[in-house]
């Protein structure tokens, strides 16, 4: 089981820590199941960059980045060395602590 902490760049949203998270799910799926707003225009099939996030800790517990994912990360707004797509970060069997930061999601809403 995993413990995952979601940090938010968007002002006014408090950090959320989720515990007892089962493996074999993507960070996108986990976020959505816990009412954490993470855009996913393509439906989570690695065809856009709207579920872009930053993995601050625990990347070793998830699938490695593919060339296809890297291509879409390059198109994301403000990519960093720790950028990933939430739909592609599937947790391996096991346990550990993961910390991610979600970019300001209002950039997709035009606010």
Q: How does the average pLDDT of the chain come out, rounded?
A: 93
d(CA 101, CA 15): 9
Query: Where are any strands of DSSP class E within the chain?
Result: 2-8, 16-21, 52-57, 83-85, 96-102
85 - beta bridge partners?
52
d(CA 62, CA 71): 18
pLDDT at residue 85 tops 50:
yes
Query: Would you give the distance in Å from CA 9 to the centre of its chain?
Result: 13
Specify the CATH number for 2-106; select among 3.40.50.720, 3.10.20.30, 3.40.228.10, 3.10.290.10: 3.10.20.30
| For the chain, domain boundaries | 2-106
Q: Are 58 and 97 a contacting pair, CB within 8 Å?
A: yes
pLDDT number for residue 105: 76
How is the chain split among helix, strand and coil, in percent rounded to 5?
20, 30, 50
Q: Cα-flanking dihedrals φ and ψ of residue 106, to 5°?
A: -65, -15
pLDDT number for residue 59: 97
Span 31-43, pLDDT tens digits: 999 999 998 999 8
Span 62-74, pLDDT tens digits: 999 999 999 999 9
d(CA 47, CA 67): 12
Q: What is the pTM of this model?
A: 0.91
Average pLDDT on 90-108 reads 91
């Amino acid at each position: 089981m995993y413990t995952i902490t979601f940090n938010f760049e968007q002002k006014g949203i408090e950090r959320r820590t989720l515990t007892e998270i089962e493996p074999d799910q993507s960070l996108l799926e986990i976020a959505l199941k816990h009412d954490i707003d993470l855009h996913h225009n393509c439906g989570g099939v690695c065809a856009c960059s709207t579920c872009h996030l930053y993995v601050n800790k625990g990347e070793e517990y998830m699938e490695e980045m593919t060339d296809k994912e890297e291509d879409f990360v390059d198109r994301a707004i403000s990519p960093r060395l720790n950028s990933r797509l939430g739909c592609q970060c599937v947790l391996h069997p096991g346990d550990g602590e993961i910390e991610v930061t979600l970019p300001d999601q209002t950039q997709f809403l035009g606010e």
